[in-house]
Amino acid sequence: MTKSLNFTAVAVLLVGSWMGSAQFSDALAASGLTLEEALATGFCDEGDVACLEELMIGDEDSSSDSGSSSDDKSSDDDSSKDHDSKSDDKSSDDGSSKDHDSKSDDKSSDDDSSSDDGSSDPMPPLPNVVINDGQGTEFNNVTNVPVVLTVSLDVPAPGPVLIDWATQDGTAVVGNDYLAAAGQISFSAGQQSADLTVFIIGDDTSEPAESFFVRLTTAEGVVLLDDQGEVVIFDDDDIDE
């Protein structure tokens, strides 16, 4: 369009002007017409050089403003695209973060499931306890004859073990045939047997064999499989007929 206007201006410059520049400027400012509009409406005569030049300058300014407006709009569009791009990037980051959180939750769930499936080692069974029997002979001149009984575990103690014990009458009577006794035996980790001692009372009375018991009463960390040992007392005196 500018090339067309310049060609028209060159053509009319050859003709000359009848209106002064100052008069033209005032008239042009009041009209607000472009070059093509002025020519079409007869605002400028074809021979009016000053009128045509002013209209050309005004038309170029208008074109420049239009170009600037287009540039501004293009800049706004680019800014909008940048904003949309950043929004998309943020949305992508949010999606990635959610995926990561979801995977973390899945892994945590798998770990919990693994813990609940009973994969830990089971507790070993508790040791079984037994006590052996014993025997002793009472002598006329010896009042305290020791008898040793052994308490055993079927497997070594996994940790400290405590077992309480006490004597109990049978055919033998406490204070007459044996001494009352009670106590506690202990096992350290890895230990498998321990001894306890009871005493027989000697006398000069002839009597048949008698017996009393040693009972295991309470225990910690073991199972009392055989909790009673029998002690048999033999007499060295002649039995009266």
**What are the pLDDT digits (tens) for 57-88?**
655 555 555 545 445 555 555 555 555 555 55
pLDDT at 139 over 70: yes
Give the chain's domain count: 2
* Domain shared by 112 and 134, yes or no: no
Domain membership of residue 51 (yes or no) is yes
- In the three-class reduction of DSSP (H, G, I as helix; E, B as strand; rest coil), residue 102 is classed as helix
Q: Which residue range forms the structural domain that includes residue 230?
A: 128-235
Domain membership of residue 240 (yes or no) is no
Dihedrals φ, ψ of 224, to 5°?
-80, 90
* Domain shared by 175 and 207, yes or no: yes
Residue that is written with structure tokens 């014990």 in the block: 165
Domain membership of residue 157 (yes or no) is yes
- In the three-class reduction of DSSP (H, G, I as helix; E, B as strand; rest coil), residue 15 is classed as coil
Query: Buried (b) or exposed (e) across 52-72, using 16+ Cβ within 10 A?
Result: bbbbbebbeeeeeeeeeeeee
- pLDDT value of position 77: 55
Domain membership of residue 73 (yes or no) is yes
pTM: 0.49
Domain membership of residue 230 (yes or no) is yes
* Domain shared by 61 and 135, yes or no: no
* Domain shared by 116 and 132, yes or no: no
Domain membership of residue 191 (yes or no) is yes
Higher-confidence residue: 208 or 40? 208
* Domain shared by 11 and 113, yes or no: yes
* Domain shared by 107 and 147, yes or no: no
Domain membership of residue 164 (yes or no) is yes
pLDDT more than 70, % of the chain: 47
For strand 193-200 and strand 145-153, is the pairing parallel, antiparallel, or unpaired?
antiparallel
pLDDT at 194 over 70: yes
Domain membership of residue 241 (yes or no) is no
Decide which of 74, 92, 120 is a domain's last residue.
120
pLDDT at 92 over 70: no
Kindly report the CATH number assigned to the domain that includes residue 144. Answer: 2.60.40.2030
* Domain shared by 86 and 18, yes or no: yes
* Domain shared by 70 and 105, yes or no: yes
Decide which of 97, 120, 143 is a domain's last residue.
120
* Domain shared by 5 and 115, yes or no: yes
* Domain shared by 2 and 107, yes or no: yes
* Domain shared by 108 and 18, yes or no: yes
Cα-Cα-Cα-Cα torsion 53, 59, 64, 68, nearest 10 degrees, comes to 160
* Domain shared by 11 and 102, yes or no: yes
Judge contact between 88 and 80, C-beta under 8 A. no
Judge contact between 62 and 31, C-beta under 8 A. no
pLDDT at 238 over 50: yes
